[in-house]
Structure 1
């Protein structure tokens, strides 16, 4: 939890306080990042995950992750990738997915286009996610357009219609009668 409580600067100081050998320093960074990846898997609070992800980017700016072992790199990439995808096993909220995607592209800039292509392909293969996202974006756009007085009633009607068309999205929402 040191990344959350003390911040990336203190973690970088701790890593640099190990002996001067480059291999020992990379092993200590490996240890810290394995633990951070494990903690990121267990956290369920949106604000804490977003803080961890932004701190992870700042830690990468202080200590480049290029010296990491292949196993640790794979773990960090796996956690960032799963947090950036809708659905299981994490069911991350949209703000977490966006922050994870941004963190992934800042820490590992190579392959950014391939990840974007993969996201588009998974949206095509899972149309339920893309239709709900599209309806949500249309509803938000209509809400912005229809925010003036004469259009408020029409906007409310359109939002109600979009909610009815999109249907229930999970166990926490009840269907509108």
Structure 2
């Protein structure tokens, strides 16, 4: 955030945050005035506020002034970004962000406007008292859209840069269901489900766990980044033992089964296929062997895969025999030592 840093490198924390706010306002005004450069300016601003705070700025921000915002708790694994700082600041001093909010509203339809809104005002929105329901719905929609976009940026880059934005608020429960496992929060699943709101169509879909699984299954089918997909498949085992409606159970089983066969439409890699089989066998042990037999039959429909399958099968058998021999040798050695 070069211009912002230069504008406030020698001032105390409150003035520093004011200077950041002024720089954001200037860039938004430039975007509003220039239709041809609007998208580029908004993209640059989004990149600016998503930057990690450097050491000099961190010292200023984390100073001990009475009116200083201390966003240390927002950092993920020690990472502190400018949007963490500014989001706290606009909650504590809402009048400071009013001009920025007005400018963003004028740029609603532009790319990256919702991104910027979600980063800067995701905390303010749940603290503000808005008299107009229409305005609240508009802001909530922008927050959901922006949060979805920035979370997908994390997915595509396999990072946790926007994890601080991941909050368990009522309007975001379905969205959180898609990203809970990605951010390694499976240990909070029970608490998350207990706080799940009651939706109007709950009598048709089921309880909180059904909503969670439906969103999760939809998310799995959209993933194209192999490490992320493998991560999801390893984390999904947390669903073991949970009671699901028949329709939800069938939906999840079909989703996992789609990753177990080579070829279209998924074209899963060998690692993904094995991870999907492990998750499927763990969550749905009944019918395990018939599923594998059916899968073997369909594998015969892909003759070009036979050589690699045979090779992998032979290698797996050799590894299994070798491991068995090692275990036998070690057990015999232990018996000899005992004797």
Q: TM-score range by the shorter chain?
A: 0.5 to 0.7
Question: 1:17 aligned to 179, 182, 195, which one?
Answer: 195
Return the alpha-carbon distance in structure 2 between the equivalents of residues 90 and 56 of structure 1: 19
Return the alpha-carbon distance in structure 2 between the equivalents of residues 95 and 130 of structure 1: 17
Return the alpha-carbon distance in structure 1 between the equivalents of residues 286 and 229 of structure 2: 23
Q: Does 1:113 align with 2:289?
A: yes
Return the alpha-carbon distance in structure 2 between the equivalents of residues 84 and 133 of structure 1: 13
Number of residues of Structure 1 aligned to a counterpart in Structure 2? 133
Question: Which protein has the larger Cα radius of gyration, Structure 1 or Structure 2?
Answer: 2
Return the alpha-carbon distance in structure 2 between the equivalents of residues 68 and 3 of structure 1: 18
Native 8 Å contact 2:261 2:299 kept in 1: no
Return the alpha-carbon distance in structure 1 between the equivalents of residues 262 and 211 of structure 2: 29
Instruction: Structure 1 unaligned segments of length 5 or more: list them.
Output: 145-177
Deviation, 1:96, is 0.6
- Corresponding position of 2:220: 40
Structure 1 segment 1-177 matched on structure 2, within 5 A: 1-18=179-196, 27-57=207-237, 59-61=238-240, 64-65=241-242, 67-135=243-311
- 1:90 counterpart SS class: coil
- 1:5 counterpart SS class: coil
Return the alpha-carbon distance in structure 2 between the equivalents of residues 86 and 113 of structure 1: 19
Q: Which has the higher contact order (CA 8 A, sep 6+)?
A: 1
- 2:249 counterpart SS class: helix
Deviation, 1:137, is 5.9
- Corresponding position of 1:164: none
Q: Deviation digits for residues 114-164 of structure 1, max 9, x if unmatched? A: 0111122112233222233225666x79xx9xxxxxxxxxxxxxxxxxxxx
Deviation, 1:54, is 1.1
Q: Which has the higher helix share?
A: 1
- 1:83 counterpart SS class: coil
Per the normalisation by structure 2, the TM-score is: 0.36
Native 8 Å contact 1:7 1:55 kept in 2: no
- RMSD between superposed Cα atoms in Å: 2.4
Per the normalisation by structure 1, the TM-score is: 0.66
